[in-house]
Amino acid sequence: MSEIRVLSKEVSELIAAGEVIDRPSSIIKELLENAIDAGSNVITVEIKNGGRTYIRVTDNGKGIAPEDLPTAFLRHATSKIVNRGDLDSIMTLGFRGEALASICAVAKVDVLTKRIGDRLGTHYAIEGAQEKLSEQCGCPDGTTFVVRDIFYNVPARLKFLKKDSTEANYAADLVSKLAISHPDISFKFIRDNKADLITAGDGKIYSAVYSVFGREFAGSLMEVDYTYEGIHIYGYTVKPIESRPNRKFQNFFVNKRYVRSKACADALEEAYRNNIMVGKFPACVLYIDVPPNTVDVNVHPTKIEVRFSDEKLIHEAVFFAVKNSLMEKDQPGEIVLDKKKNFTEHELYDFPPEDNSVQMRFGTEDSLAGVSSSVDRNAAGVEKKTEIPPLPPLPEQEPMAPRSFRPGPRLEKVENLPISEEDRKSGEDLFLASLEEPAAPAPTSPETKKVTVEEINKAVSEIPIPDEPEPFGKSDFQFISRRSFIRSVVEEVKPEKDKPKPIVVGELFKTYVVAQCGDEMLLMDKHAAHERYIFEKIKGDTQQLETQMLLEPIMIMLSYDEYDALSAGIDKIRPLGFEIEPDVAPTVAVKGVPIILGDNNPTEAVIELARNLLQNKHDPQVEIFDDLYHSLACKAAIKANDDNTLIELQALMNAVYDNDKTRYCPHGRPVMIRLTKKDIERQFRRLV
């Protein structure tokens, strides 16, 4: 007896449906994609009991012809492609012709559809792939699918569904992603007779993101718009300080199709490297427009994954797009003060009485020249009303003369700077002179000279500092001292014309540096700022990564793809201090390692290096290097509660203020925040 037989149509339909439909949200996905492909601009999704018993998808698209309805529910029936050449230029979300056939195989389906211009529509019913009804009816333009009792004929699969609330959340997440990918379509999602989501459909990405994720998430985003090698990447990415504890908020859309892409995720996280806290992940809503012939969307039954013809090009495009946005648009955090009244009227306008005599009360609209009255109590307790005469107007005062800010005791000694007392006093007085501002405009005279930031930097640069060894030797890794730090900062910082420069005016709690820059007050964490400055110095100095040759090579076995990537990237890893030669595949011989690794096992570092090259990372350095750099920078940086002069703090402020790489410390903490003059004036009621 033959053991090989052809499956019946019923069984084969159920098996094929299992590849596409595994839960209610899968049905919603297929129906929504068809609605979008039909040219709809208003779509409504309604579910009950998590979609297990009732799903309705209504659109205002072009509709389906009555004669096409029976064919539409056959497997591999589609209007999206005709010949094999169409597979290279797919721009629609659906194209296989498996959606409706898979849905009707496991559920009861009713369709109401009408084309624009037709007098009547069509009502079509099908259950378990068997046609039940086909008749004319009255209905609006577009198509409505009603799906009931999913898996009614496959009880074994029904038991694998989760509870209704969980299945409803899957459906809500799916509708949200499609709403973001098509901001020109107005989506409405109804769960158990309650509207959960409504989007405007105005074509603005920000509106869709705001509707889906809310105000807080939308307010933490920065715009991305970048074109690289013909690939257009646009959308939004999150500020580093607003990073998330997981990757669930990473949204990538390739040609308006939501996808999961490891190449895109790796590029995104590499762009944020050393700018976010450990254990945090960046969030984004990024749209990637590529030529359709460079991406294969037919590699997954649900089309959730895609394959690019050039993964490296996509990686670089996403990396440069996000990095460019971070460098240009990520500004220091701004302190937002509460604009509500912080004091009661009693606290603001009631003056304390003296000796139980007279108490004056001024309302918000009272004038100091107005007449007020109060109650005077005599010794016998008898109340006597006293009229208070109008207060005379205040005499006009002459403008106050400029006042000099004199240094405190801590400024009398400049620690760790071997300079003469005369030079120290000259440089310090010159810096402090910049803090002198007149209270009112005063006429200038030929003897009056305004001290500029350029002159301050010049004065600091003229402070004699003796020569010393390089801050980071090839073997001993000495720390950057304050002397070399100030010297290097003065050499690097070149003032720009017509651009305000921060002027340090003091320090809070011996930790936070206070500075003024134009109409803004800056607060800088001196330890975080110095730590990031040193970190960038170490990382940028590749000469320190001197190679330590090994007596005997270490043989490391990799996977074949890692071996190929490492063999092709030998020139990229040699400046990192590694001396590696390919051996018999997939083994490599490590003959030298960077001195900075110390006693660390190079095996893990080499494997990670190969993995980074395989993932086309722009910077193949391994994370262990960053950990070592972090440790060195943290130890070398000035600490909270350290005594620092204003000259040192000014030099540090100059070093990090205009440096895009020093906005966050290596651990992801912000280096600087700001407070605007308007916010301060609101707190003092100078502005309403």
CATH number at residue 660: 3.30.1540.20
Indicate whether 518 and 560 sit together in one domain: no
Q: Rounded to an integer, what distance in angstroms lies between the CA atom of residue 139 and that of residue 144?
A: 9
Indicate whether 30 and 137 sit together in one domain: yes
State the total domains in the chain.
4
Tokens of 578: 């590694």
Residue 129: inside a domain, yes or no? Answer: yes
Q: Rounded to an integer, what distance in angstroms lies between the CA atom of residue 284 and that of residue 326?
A: 12
SS3 254: strand
Indicate whether 179 and 115 sit together in one domain: yes
Question: Closest Cα partner for 28 from 131, 96, 103?
Answer: 103
Indicate whether 649 and 608 sit together in one domain: no
pTM over 0.75: no
Model confidence over 558-602: pLDDT tens digits?
Answer: 888 888 888 888 887 777 778 888 888 888 898 888 776 666 678
620-626: long-range contacts, CB 8 A cutoff, minimum separation 24: 620/569, 620/572, 620/573, 620/576, 621/576, 624/597, 624/600, 625/576, 625/596, 626/273, 626/274, 626/666
Residue 372: inside a domain, yes or no? Answer: no
Of 298, 315, 330, the one marking the end of a domain is: 330
| pLDDT (0 to 100) of residue 546 | 75
Indicate whether 111 and 236 sit together in one domain: no
Render 345-385 in DSSP notation, one character per residue: HHHHHBPPPSTTS---B--TT--TTS-EEEEEE-TT--EEE
Indicate whether 306 and 422 sit together in one domain: no
| pLDDT (0 to 100) of residue 638 | 85
The order of strands in the sheet holding 672-676 is 333-334, 672-676, 520-525, 512-517, 503-508
Residue 444: inside a domain, yes or no? Answer: no
Of 147, 166, 198, the one marking the end of a domain is: 198
What is the C-alpha radius of gyration for the chain, rounded to an integer number of angstroms? 35
| pLDDT (0 to 100) of residue 615 | 73
State the SS3 of 526-569. HHHHHHHHHHHHHHHCHHHCCEEEEEEEEEEECCHHHHHHHHHC
Of 619, 634, 649, the one marking the end of a domain is: 634
| pLDDT (0 to 100) of residue 440 | 42
Indicate whether 424 and 504 sit together in one domain: yes
End-to-end CA distance of the chain: give it in Å, rounded.
Answer: 94
Q: Which residue range forms the structural domain that includes residue 17?
A: 9-198
Residue entry with tokens 């100059």: 654
| pLDDT (0 to 100) of residue 488 | 52
Indicate whether 507 and 607 sit together in one domain: no
- pLDDT lower than 70: segments of the chain: 1-2, 5, 7, 9-10, 12-19, 80-91, 94-97, 298, 300-302, 332-498, 538, 540-545, 596-600, 616-632, 688
Render 154-203 in DSSP notation, one character per residue: -HHHHTTS--HHHHHHHHHHHHHHHHHH-TTSEEEEEETTEEEEE---SS
Q: Rounded to an integer, what distance in angstroms lies between the CA atom of residue 93 and that of residue 96?
A: 10
| pLDDT (0 to 100) of residue 444 | 44
Q: Are 411 and 428 in contact (CB under 8 A)?
A: yes
Indicate whether 577 and 677 sit together in one domain: no
| pLDDT (0 to 100) of residue 336 | 60
Indicate whether 147 and 46 sit together in one domain: yes
